[in-house]
Structure 1
């Protein structure tokens, strides 16, 4: 008996259970052949259930060995704490998680209530895992099992049952709760009884009907669709329904094809969720994780996923996910509002989230997906996984607090296997489908985050990520191979000045929390965002319009071997506030005092130190990077600052404990309401002071061809590199464009590769002339028409509407 539950509920439950059990599990009158087929199908359901149990618990590991022994002991400790706090009363199963009837309350409270119900089910799942896993101290504990079953009945009777109206966040009812519930049903299957299983299936059918996947739209796309299919598949396994399993398998198919707008995977490797948010590091990871689980679960069964489109998912490992993984971390530029999560209030036993921990989850997905891939793919991926594990010194993967025993067992198996660890690759990748770029060189990597009329400045929602307003305004992230991998992991987002994100140009106009609207609705009315790359170097540009401000700017980045050349022009604003372009805003940790040298002179390390560095030719931040200012800096300022903030400042669901981090900030102060201001600097990640000084002294290394509101371009003769962003038709150096375009030229020996894109995406023809002798054409893209060679080369490009890069290789001698 449950003394906290009214008697009428108990009696109603008894009647419903009897009816559901009779309907769901009534014996069938079948002929002998049919009976044998039915028995075989039943065996298939049992096999899938046991396979899913292995997927969620892990297999082949020694529970007394590390890292498993500590992980299992911690699971047991968490379960004991949760169990001791569990109290079955009307409206809650845990006192801190009320799910009371939200009818008279606000929408915000409704979201809280539904979230609390979701968390309650996930806490029960933790208890069930502690019961089922070896080495927890609660393994097979019958009293714990009884408490879990009582908790399941309590939540079912009071909140999650057929006929209940949902409230708050749809996700909790259709994905979060049923996934936890069905996992519990698998883990405790032999102790549930047919009636309880039947009512659980009825509840899931009520909240996740077949119609949830009838149309590929709304909340049933991308990662959400995969999550819904996971629910349907497990409902089919637990409830022995071939129809549900078939539906789950077939409903995955719309996820596979490339998209050209909205949610999903793009041919260029982009991944979008919520219409306009780059999300490979969060929702994309969920999608990859869900698909890896479902592919593995159904492999070899009557419901195996055989749609040839699934190859797009396998290809995405190297096209869409690996480019954003560096030394085990997943870049924040593709993690949406997840960057603001820290430690959540809803479960204080949880661990913080950061870029490394998100990366670990993606790596675990790759390791599992490899089990369904080809032998060649598995060999490559195992090498990639082993390399990431080896290089994540900042947050060791095999000790990851966010990974469970199952994921760790799979990762350790790869790490202990025969695969050769792969190094970090070098090269450049453009992702025009989501206004992102990634540059990798030996010893460092960088990521660029931009915004356009297709891609949001930033996403906030559910009270999360309230101040990342300018993260799409040209934020330039970078990490070292063996240093500075905690730059954005170490409480960066709650402590950084949100108006001074590195690489951005921004107005100091005060913005409200969540400025611009929720779910990525804030997008600038601009089209020219993109670039051109040959896979080694790149020219990338962004026409910037400020969020809720009059700010205008043209920003360009030229990605090279040991440096990134950064130009800004046309910087204009009329908000009555200052405008700044941020060269750097380095998180030095809780006690960092890294020295700053400017033109050979050491600057103060005192907290609060500030200076104007007009005329500076170079600067060096010890342990991080060098910065060169061609022709001498104007209006360059520097500041050392200890900044205190709390995760709850930027995420209403996070803990409130304040943290303090020290920062070294360098920025160009364009003044109040600037008129067509400009800047130029060269970022040299990992460079020494001597290397930085030498680069500043070598005035022939870099030629700035243009830095205006019409064109921005540079030439680096020693690299054979020329890059020009044509905001308008015109000429810069030896290059002329008859329409807006991004042009990059890389000369090597007696050949040159010309790369051209049309970032406006209007499909208009682009004529490009390179005023250099060209003797012939080696190869060209089908979209390229050669108009003239000889003393000069003229090309006519028909670029299409996806900002693809079109290549032409020519002989120069």
Structure 2
């Protein structure tokens, strides 16, 4: 059902297709200044449009705009063929969602045309015919859909964020050609769909990144309509975004970022929040509406606490990008851009660079050094030619890089994010990220037809990348081609699951509490009480993050679904034609696609160009090579249906159907040579597995002075004991040792920890740690709290 195409408001607009007369000359006011600032922010400046890479990008922009103008065919219910936006009857999903998406796409196309008109070097700069086409399209969409009094349908986001953001950008770019009637009509439409009440409460769809997006709409609505109250409201409505949260959406003190209540989202919604705030801070700086709230320091702190930890060589780790990982190439993307971990990373880097322009000198210096480092290291998808960056973002980053200065290296160390069940481990030459789920954090998020098969991504998926290799592992069409039942690091049932199993918007969460771990900032013990999605599978899985290895243990693996259960050691994307050598105990295996084998008594394996794998005491492991074909449209209804094929090398423990008490143990050595892997396997004294049962798991690595354990129930592992479930890590360094404890149940109960090792005294301890005794053994009482925090004491050894 369409709105009337000849409504009263349409009559007030300039004749369709005609350019409105510019307003009479007058002195610029504060809103003219803000409008000019926004124009500069979205178009960029200080670049030579005839120089690379701008010339190519601008020419592509112009070509795309001219094609869109040619294809534009205003009709009842659409502006472009195939992009119908009529209100479906009845207003049901998915048709209504598709139509609201099409409406947003139509405005986005007009924005592309407007940018081609405004940017230099597009071949259509200042083209009156292109400008007329944009104005014609604006009038058509206003009269038929996006107007005051019109009921909305489909996805709320399109009406309150997607469409108005595109419309307001167009209004800035073509302001002098709009005329008073169009401006009034556009601002009235935005006031209708985005009333002040949209930010009256910090709840529902008005939290986190969504709140920032709404404030952007309100701020620019105030600028275009010259309405001080709207811009002031936008500034003030940012206030609830700044404080740390302890549940729900927003930034957490430990660096976690959550959206949709239960989904880790620093790489997607979090990136929107950061980028939106960077733009608003820059827009309003120095004006009467400058953001002076002291709470904005939380945002500044988040750069190094919440975003940088998930950036590696320019990519943003997929473990915190939610359903965005399934987008690949979207059908309605006029440029056909490939969305992936690198493009998401580049967007965050650009946001940090912009935020730095309004930051104090010390923060600006640190952030710009980090940005230059990421730019220098992203060999797989060079940032400064990044096709997904806007010309404005590209200009800012190239200017920053050209200015020279420090390039911050990738840091080394471990970060636990208890607020979102994630862990990041960094060592010289590689990095890893672990994704888990609990009653607090979803297995995965699906919604709007996206990420339909991300079922097991929260079941202990272990991502890793090399410093100068394998940075395209998840970039190169991994998600549509990987076996979704065999994600690396996971233990999962082969029970068939329907697309979007478990429910939308993070509804699928396991009824478990023990998820988390302990770290001293260098090494870590992390554990997950695993319950399978829509299956009876349960298990206890642990990861011990060390210098050059990750020790992976699993035990108590059981299920009763009549389906097989597997623990996946590796599932490596070898690209379209990869033939990487695979060696087991010194014997090279076949490189033929379709090869498979059961490796009985295997002690070590090596995949050339990637990693080594060690199986303490030997193990029976299955391995196979596959050519897997899939399409982005199979995991995202909005994506491209083109068939893609990638080769994989997979290793897994096959626990069989309905295992009763299965287990596994292996070491992952990223970047190790075959010789180093064989040597580690031969050095049986390097690692001692102290326990690997459904009650407790632990390891001892003498060369690192490390003893660590995850106790699923009260008990003892080697020299460590706890009176309640706990994760404990002890690292001896010379005459001292650090003892780190976490109560992953987060029930606030006290935990008594004993280390049966002679301790002369306690040098320091957190306020949450009480020293019960020293001497022949150390006894501590931990006030564990409810946030999954790590509690630390430093002792002098006896």
Which TM-score band (shorter chain)? over 0.9
Rounded to whole Å, the distance in 1 between the matches of 2:307 and 2:719 is 37
After TM superposition, the score normalised by the length of structure 1 is 0.96
Q: Give the equivalent residue in structure 1 for 2:770.
A: 785
Rounded to whole Å, the distance in 2 between the matches of 1:754 and 1:715 is 14
Q: Is the 8 A contact 1:379 1:419 kept in 2?
A: no
Q: 5 Å matches for 1:8-407?
A: 9=6, 12-15=9-12, 43-104=29-90, 106-407=92-393
Q: Which runs of 5+ in 2 are unaligned?
A: 16-21
1:796 and 1:110, CA in 2 relative to 1: closer, same or farther beyond 3 A? same
Task: Give 3-state SS (helix, strand or coil) of 2:561's partner.
Answer: coil
Rounded to whole Å, the distance in 2 between the matches of 1:731 and 1:557 is 18
Deviation at 1:451, TM superposition (A): 0.1
Rounded to whole Å, the distance in 1 between the matches of 2:3 and 2:232 is 39
Task: Give 3-state SS (helix, strand or coil) of 2:666's partner.
Answer: strand
**Which of these residues, 629, 651, 662, is aligned with residue 636 of structure 2?**
651
Q: Give the equivalent residue in structure 2 for 1:795.
A: 780
Deviation at 1:347, TM superposition (A): 2.5
Q: Give the equivalent residue in structure 2 for 1:743.
A: 728
Deviation at 1:702, TM superposition (A): 0.1
Rounded to whole Å, the distance in 2 between the matches of 1:540 and 1:600 is 32
Deviation at 1:26, TM superposition (A): 14
Q: Is the 8 A contact 2:13 2:182 kept in 1?
A: no
Q: Is the 8 A contact 1:118 1:176 kept in 2?
A: yes
Rounded to whole Å, the distance in 2 between the matches of 1:8 and 1:157 is 5
Rounded to whole Å, the distance in 2 between the matches of 1:77 and 1:142 is 16
1:750 and 1:112, CA in 2 relative to 1: closer, same or farther beyond 3 A? same
Task: Give 3-state SS (helix, strand or coil) of 1:80's partner.
Answer: helix
Q: Give the equivalent residue in structure 1 for 2:677.
A: 692
1:745 and 1:195, CA in 2 relative to 1: closer, same or farther beyond 3 A? same
Rounded to whole Å, the distance in 1 between the matches of 2:5 and 2:508 is 50
Q: Give the equivalent residue in structure 2 for 1:804.
A: 789
Rounded to whole Å, the distance in 2 between the matches of 1:418 and 1:342 is 34
**Which of these residues, 582, 589, 605, is aligned with residue 568 of structure 2?**
582
Deviation at 1:244, TM superposition (A): 0.4
Rounded to whole Å, the distance in 2 between the matches of 1:266 and 1:483 is 32
Deviation at 1:103, TM superposition (A): 2.5
Q: Give the equivalent residue in structure 2 for 1:708.
A: 693
Q: Is the 8 A contact 2:459 2:492 kept in 1?
A: yes
1:59 and 1:174, CA in 2 relative to 1: closer, same or farther beyond 3 A? same
1:160 and 1:693, CA in 2 relative to 1: closer, same or farther beyond 3 A? same
Deviation at 1:8, TM superposition (A): 7.4
Q: Is the 8 A contact 1:562 1:684 kept in 2?
A: yes
Q: Give the equivalent residue in structure 1 for 2:526.
A: 540
Rounded to whole Å, the distance in 1 between the matches of 2:651 and 2:306 is 33
Q: Is the 8 A contact 1:57 1:405 kept in 2?
A: yes
The answer to whether 1:597 aligns with 2:583 is yes
Deviation at 1:17, TM superposition (A): 8.3
Q: Is the 8 A contact 2:706 2:730 kept in 1?
A: yes
Q: Comparing 96-105 with 393-402, which one deviates more in the overlay?
A: 96-105
Partner deviation per Cα, 1:564-603 (whole Å, 9 max, x = no partner): 0000000000000110000000000000010110001111
Rounded to whole Å, the distance in 1 between the matches of 2:30 and 2:13 is 28
Rounded to whole Å, the distance in 2 between the matches of 1:12 and 1:515 is 46
Partner deviation per Cα, 1:267-309 (whole Å, 9 max, x = no partner): 0000000000000000000000000000000011100000100
Partner deviation per Cα, 1:364-385 (whole Å, 9 max, x = no partner): 0000000111101110111110
Q: Give the equivalent residue in structure 2 for 1:435.
A: 421
Q: 5 Å matches for 1:397-546?
A: 397-546=383-532
Q: Give the equivalent residue in structure 2 for 1:33.
A: none
Rounded to whole Å, the distance in 2 between the matches of 1:196 and 1:483 is 53
Rounded to whole Å, the distance in 2 between the matches of 1:580 and 1:623 is 25
1:12 and 1:685, CA in 2 relative to 1: closer, same or farther beyond 3 A? closer
Q: Give the equivalent residue in structure 1 for 2:664.
A: 679
Task: Give 3-state SS (helix, strand or coil) of 2:177's partner.
Answer: helix
Deviation at 1:685, TM superposition (A): 0.1
The answer to whether 1:621 aligns with 2:632 is no
Q: Give the equivalent residue in structure 2 for 1:554.
A: 540
Q: Give the equivalent residue in structure 2 for 1:34.
A: none
After TM superposition, the score normalised by the length of structure 2 is 0.98
Rounded to whole Å, the distance in 1 between the matches of 2:717 and 2:232 is 59
Partner deviation per Cα, 1:722-751 (whole Å, 9 max, x = no partner): 110010010111101010000011111111
Deviation at 1:105, TM superposition (A): 5.6
Task: Give 3-state SS (helix, strand or coil) of 2:347's partner.
Answer: helix
Task: Give 3-state SS (helix, strand or coil) of 2:122's partner.
Answer: coil
Partner deviation per Cα, 1:47-87 (whole Å, 9 max, x = no partner): 00000000000011111111211111110111111111001
Rounded to whole Å, the distance in 2 between the matches of 1:15 and 1:290 is 33
**Which of these residues, 761, 766, 770, is aligned with residue 746 of structure 2?**
761
Partner deviation per Cα, 1:188-230 (whole Å, 9 max, x = no partner): 0011011110110000000000000000000000000000000
Rounded to whole Å, the distance in 2 between the matches of 1:653 and 1:9 is 32
Task: Give 3-state SS (helix, strand or coil) of 1:219's partner.
Answer: coil
Q: Is the 8 A contact 1:453 1:524 kept in 2?
A: yes
Rounded to whole Å, the distance in 2 between the matches of 1:7 and 1:505 is 56
Deviation at 1:419, TM superposition (A): 2.2
Partner deviation per Cα, 1:160-206 (whole Å, 9 max, x = no partner): 00000000000000000000000000000011011110110000000
Partner deviation per Cα, 1:684-734 (whole Å, 9 max, x = no partner): 000000000000000000000110111100010000111100100101111
Q: Give the equivalent residue in structure 2 for 1:32.
A: none
Q: Is the 8 A contact 1:289 1:365 kept in 2?
A: yes
Rounded to whole Å, the distance in 2 between the matches of 1:361 and 1:598 is 41
1:6 and 1:491, CA in 2 relative to 1: closer, same or farther beyond 3 A? closer
Q: Which runs of 5+ in 1 are unaligned?
A: 19-24, 28-38
Q: Is the 8 A contact 2:92 2:154 kept in 1?
A: no
Rounded to whole Å, the distance in 2 between the matches of 1:64 and 1:361 is 24
Rounded to whole Å, the distance in 1 between the matches of 2:691 and 2:274 is 43
Deviation at 1:484, TM superposition (A): 0.3
Cα root mean square deviation, aligned: 1.6
Rounded to whole Å, the distance in 1 between the matches of 2:9 and 2:658 is 70
Partner deviation per Cα, 1:587-644 (whole Å, 9 max, x = no partner): 000000101100011111111111001210000000000000001013x100001000
Q: Which runs of 4+ in 1 moved over 6 A?
A: 5-8
Rounded to whole Å, the distance in 2 between the matches of 1:15 and 1:640 is 66
Deviation at 1:14, TM superposition (A): 2.4
Q: Is the 8 A contact 2:23 2:176 kept in 1?
A: no
Q: Is the 8 A contact 1:71 1:404 kept in 2?
A: no
Task: Give 3-state SS (helix, strand or coil) of 2:619's partner.
Answer: coil
Partner deviation per Cα, 1:122-143 (whole Å, 9 max, x = no partner): 0000000000000000000011
Rounded to whole Å, the distance in 1 between the matches of 2:732 and 2:63 is 62
